């Protein structure tokens, strides 16, 4: 007889042991930055700035089964020695019930509810192009929930109605709502970077879905009063009942012709519905400079998570899907009468047979119009914090937009999940702990190993046992292709510099001494040349002083007519021997190196290297400059001189300009790091002061540099 009762209520009550399941898919794993195209169901913005260049989901599935009223022994999940097949329990359900089911007392549960889901994600993929991300998704989703059932009803049925004290008791089920549906989804997702200031990053995404009806059934009653008069008779009082069902896949036939196929697809799209998800994700990136691409200016590494704190907001499952109405579907306003349980159960085999029995028993309205089911819309908030390196903790809350017991409305359940996890490129491991809307606490685990991921939200409950209130399993197989690490620039074998020493107060004193000696040598040469010129002038003056005076006669004769003067022919001077001067070699222009004053001290010299004809500062060199900026901000006595250099490729004027641009770029970067502008001086030297030979590429790489000399006033 018990089997007949179970068949009687299999549509209305399903497994009347009151299951409570989560609508959220892949709980725990969807918090990972490597969830890929699967993460679109948590927040469509997740696909933007993804760690994946391309992610292909081959197949993945998520099954939920939970319970807020009856706990079952974990031995029922055993593959071997399962008590369900134990012959000792055949025709002994009450013994089985006592050994393996633990039911809550009536007073602890106001209403029993069922909430079950199965999600199968078919072939889907995402790919990233620059700041944009695109996704194509496919899948099948199945929902079932039963709300507002008096928990005594299940208890009476499980008791097989053999206890007379349970007879003639009114079981009042106000606004009882049973709803199940299966549909296919085909979606297009788009995500994009919206704001990126370096430290602050915002991205958004949308997921548009075409929904194709497959199967649905629903039963809603404003009031349903059941009274088991005895073990064989049920008295029923119902009012304002809405009943419907649809098997839209019945159009598929084994012997379908071409015309039938076209008709099927035409009907399919006539029954189609639409859904949408959207969301935003904000990331705080205080150390974003560490992730600058080593060779691409203005870009960052795509294979790394760059945030310290991430916060997301999303809305999922907006919209609905339309189903055809079955032949025996309809509504009726009220009924009061008695049913013979054996006769009623025998005539109600399946949904359509149940509908026919309902139609024969009640005066139902004839309504063949299609019915529309609303999706279980939810709002989700996610917060993710990077504790250290590969360790993260995620807190996600999911809230149903509409939890009212409205007919033809699927709904989700509130939940709060905390997931600490370890996350790397090819491996993930997390432990989600969830508190649901019925105060059930579950603890699970998920693991991702390359293309495979598996998980459960309550596996620890199953391990600890002995009784659990639900079951969740999910897993999937993918083809993940992550972004590369980025090619590193060729490592330069630079000479040892003082800035590479761990101690301060060290500079290239030998170079400074050589430059000072050169200046003193030139001064001595100039002094000797002036002394030689003065000596020659003195000798010339002395020679002029030794010439004899003219002879004057004693008497003055009478003047005589003066003869015309003969022209004086000066004798040819004796030519001095010609001494060929030594060839004078013009010295190369000296670089304008800063000379350390007596009132200051040279502390440290730091070098930054550049690509050919470029002023971009690499991430590695920015770390060096960050250290200088920190040092200079620690004491107002610090200041710095920035020398810009180039290789010898190009003309001198162009190299001088390029050297100035490089020095200015370094100066501007130091200013952005908090260094006062008047503490920085730049000198453009061009190619005048190489530190390596320019006839090799390796030498030219060393010469393309900026030297920052850190000084401190005494």
Q: What is the pLDDT of residue 76?
A: 80
The strand pairing partners of 638, in sequence order, are 712
Least confident of 15-19, 41-45, 285-289: 15-19
Per-residue pLDDT of 643-677, as tens digits, reads: 999 998 888 888 888 988 999 999 999 999 999 99
247 in a structural domain = yes
Closest by CA to 117, choosing from 180, 58, 27, is 180
More confident residue, 522 or 692: 692
Q: What is the pLDDT of residue 564?
A: 54
- Domain end among 453, 482, 511: 482
Q: What's the whole-number mean pLDDT along residues 9-32?
A: 54
Quick one: pLDDT band at residue 444, thresholds 50, 70, 90? very high
Q: Is the pLDDT of residue 195 over 90?
A: yes
Same domain (yes/no): 347, 216: yes
> Do the Cβ atoms of 63 and 21 come closer than 8 Å?
no
343 sits in which H/E element: helix 341-347
Q: What's the whole-number mean pLDDT along residues 229-249?
A: 80
634 in a structural domain = yes
Least confident of 117-121, 325-329, 355-359, 504-508: 504-508
CATH number, domain at 691?
3.30.1330.60
Q: Is the pLDDT of residue 71 over 90?
A: no
Query: How many percent of the chain have pLDDT more than 70?
Result: 76
Q: What is the pLDDT of residue 233?
A: 85
- Greatest mean pLDDT among 98-112, 238-252, 254-268, 463-477 lies in 463-477
Q: Is the pLDDT of residue 9 over 60?
A: no
The parent domain of residue 705 ranges over: 600-713
Q: What are phi and psi of 101, to 5 degrees?
A: -120, 135
Residues whose CB falls within 8 Å of the CB of residue 627, separated by 6 or more in sequence, listed in order = 606
- Greatest mean pLDDT among 174-183, 409-418, 424-433 lies in 424-433
- Strands in 299-390 per DSSP E: 309-323, 330-340, 371-374, 378-388
Least confident of 79-93, 529-543, 565-579, 682-696: 565-579
Per-residue pLDDT of 126-161, as tens digits, reads: 999 989 999 999 999 998 888 888 877 777 777 777
645 in a structural domain = yes
Averaged confidence pLDDT in the chain: 79
Give the span between the Cα atoms of 703 and 688, in whole angstroms. Answer: 10
Q: What's the whole-number mean pLDDT along residues 326-331?
A: 82
Quick one: pLDDT band at residue 252, thresholds 50, 70, 90? low
> Do the Cβ atoms of 434 and 456 come closer than 8 Å?
no
Same domain (yes/no): 473, 604: no
Sign of the alpha-carbon torsion through 595, 600, 602, 606? negative
Q: What is the pLDDT of residue 519?
A: 56
Q: What are phi and psi of 455, to 5 degrees?
A: -170, 170
- Domain end among 416, 450, 482: 482
Q: What is the pLDDT of residue 22?
A: 42
Q: What's the whole-number mean pLDDT along residues 380-390?
A: 95
How many independent structural domains does the chain possess?
2
Q: What's the whole-number mean pLDDT along residues 94-107?
A: 78
Q: What is the pLDDT of residue 566?
A: 53
User: 3-state DSSP call for residue 339?
Assistant: strand
Same domain (yes/no): 609, 468: no
Q: What torsion do the CA atoms of 267, 212, 47, 62 make, to the nearest 10 degrees? A: -150
Quick one: pLDDT band at residue 518, thresholds 50, 70, 90? low
Q: What's the whole-number mean pLDDT along residues 109-133?
A: 88
Q: What is the pLDDT of residue 111?
A: 76
690 in a structural domain = yes
520 in a structural domain = no
51 in a structural domain = yes
More confident residue, 338 or 197: 197
Per-residue pLDDT of 159-177, as tens digits, reads: 777 777 778 888 888 888 8
The strand pairing partners of 382, in sequence order, are 312, 396
391 in a structural domain = yes
More confident residue, 414 or 500: 414
- Domain end among 428, 451, 482: 482
More confident residue, 233 or 189: 189
Between vectors from CA 213 to CA 211 and to CA 218, what angle results, nearest 5°?
120
Closest by CA to 315, choosing from 378, 407, 270, is 378
CA 447 to chain centre: 19
More confident residue, 441 or 201: 201
User: 3-state DSSP call for residue 601?
Assistant: strand
Quick one: pLDDT band at residue 553, thresholds 50, 70, 90? very low
96 in a structural domain = no
The pair of three-digit structure tokens given for residue 677, joined into one six-digit string: 């502008």
Least confident of 12-21, 460-469, 499-508: 12-21
Give the span between the Cα atoms of 60 and 186, in whole angstroms. Answer: 15
Classify residue 304 as left (phi > 0), alpha (psi -120 to 50) or beta: beta
Give the span between the Cα atoms of 6 and 160, in whole angstroms. Answer: 9
Per-residue pLDDT of 576-630, as tens digits, reads: 444 444 444 344 344 456 777 888 888 888 898 888 888 888 888 888 999 999 9
């Amino acid at each position: 007889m018990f089997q007949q009762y179970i068949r009687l209520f299999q549509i209305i009550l399903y497994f009347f042991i009151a299951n409570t399941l989560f609508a959220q898919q892949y709980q725990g794993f969807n918090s990972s930055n490597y969830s890929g195209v699967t993460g679109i169901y948590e927040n469509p913005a997740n696909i933007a700035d993804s760690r994946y260049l391309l992610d292909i989901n081959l197949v993945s599935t998520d099954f939920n089964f939970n319970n807020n009223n009856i706990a079952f022994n974990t031995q029922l999940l055993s593959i071997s020695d399962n008590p369900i097949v134990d012959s000792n329990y055949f025709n002994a359900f009450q013994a089985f019930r006592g050994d393996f089911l633990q039911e809550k007392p009536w007073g602890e549960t106001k209403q029993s509810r069922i909430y079950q889901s199965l999600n199968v994600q078919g072939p889907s993929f995402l790919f990233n192009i620059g700041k944009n991300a695109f996704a194509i998704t496919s899948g099948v989703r199945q929902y079932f929930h039963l709300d507002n059932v008096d928990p005594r009803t299940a208890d009476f049925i499980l008791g097989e109605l053999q206890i007379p004290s349970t007879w003639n008791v009114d079981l009042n089920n106000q606004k009882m709502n049973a709803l199940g549906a299966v549909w296919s989804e085909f979606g297009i997702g788009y995500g994009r970077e919206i704001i990126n200031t370096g430290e602050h990053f915002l991205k958004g995404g949308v997921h548009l879905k075409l929904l194709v009806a497959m199967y649905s059934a629903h039963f809603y009653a404003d009031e349903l009063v059941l009274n088991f008069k005895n073990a064989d008779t049920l008295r029923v009082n119902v009012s304002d009942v809405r009943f419907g069902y649809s098997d839209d896949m019945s159009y598929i036939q084994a012997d379908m012709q071409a015309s039938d196929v076209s008709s099927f697809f035409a009907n399919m799209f006539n029954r189609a519905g639409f859904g949408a998800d959207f969301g935003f994700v904000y990331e705080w990136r205080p150390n974003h400079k560490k992730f600058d691409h080593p060779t691409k200016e203005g870009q960052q590494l795509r294979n790394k998570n760059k945030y310290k704190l991430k916060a997301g907001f999303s809305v999922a499952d907006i919209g609905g899907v339309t189903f055809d109405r079955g032949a025996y579907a309809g509504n009726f306003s009220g009924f009061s009468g008695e049913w013979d349980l054996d006769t009623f159960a025998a005539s109600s085999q399946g949904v359509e047979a149940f509908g026919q029995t309902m139609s024969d028993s009640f005066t139902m309205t004839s309504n063949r119009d299609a019915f529309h089911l609303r999706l279980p819309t939810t709002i989700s908030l996610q917060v993710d914090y990077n504790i250290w390196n590969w360790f993260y903790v995620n807190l996600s809350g999911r809230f149903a937009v509409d939890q009212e017991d409205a007919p033809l409305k699927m709904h989700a359940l509130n939940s709060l999940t905390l997931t600490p996890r370890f996350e790397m490129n090819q491996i993930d491991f997390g432990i989600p702990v969830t508190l649901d809307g019925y105060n059930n606490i579950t603890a699970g685990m998920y693991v991702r190993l390359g293309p495979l991921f598996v998980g459960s939200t309550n596996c620890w409950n199953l391990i600890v046992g002995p009784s659990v209130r639900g079951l969740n399993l999910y897993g999937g197989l993918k083809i993940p292709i992550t972004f590369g690490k980025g090619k590193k620039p060729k490592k330069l074998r630079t000479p040892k510099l003082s800035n590479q020493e761990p101690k301060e107060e060290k500079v290239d004193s030998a170079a400074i001494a050589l430059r000072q000696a050169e200046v003193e040598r030139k001064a001595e040469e100039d002094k000797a040349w002036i002394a030689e010129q003065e000596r020659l002038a003195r000798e010339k003056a002395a020679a002029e002083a030794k010439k004899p005076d003219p002879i004057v006669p004693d008497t003055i004769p009478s003047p005589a007519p003066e003869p015309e003067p003969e022209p004086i022919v000066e004798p040819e001077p004796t030519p001095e021997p010609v001494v060929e001067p030594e060839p004078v070699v013009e010295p190369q222009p000296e670089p304008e190196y800063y000379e350390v004053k007596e009132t200051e001290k040279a502390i440290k010299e730091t070098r930054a290297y550049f690509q050919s004809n470029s002023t971009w500062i690499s991430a590695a060199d920015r770390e060096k400059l960050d250290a200088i900026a920190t040092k200079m901000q620690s004491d107002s006595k610090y200041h710095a001189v920035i020398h810009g250099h180039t290789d010898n490729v190009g003309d001198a004027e162009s190299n001088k300009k390029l050297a100035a641009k490089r020095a200015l770029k370094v100066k501007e970067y130091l200013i952005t790091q908090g260094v006062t502008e008047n503490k920085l001086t730049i000198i453009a030297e061009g190619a005048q002061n190489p530190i390596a030979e320019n006839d090799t590429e390796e030498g030219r790489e060393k010469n393309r540099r900026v030297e920052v000399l850190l000084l401190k006033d005494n």
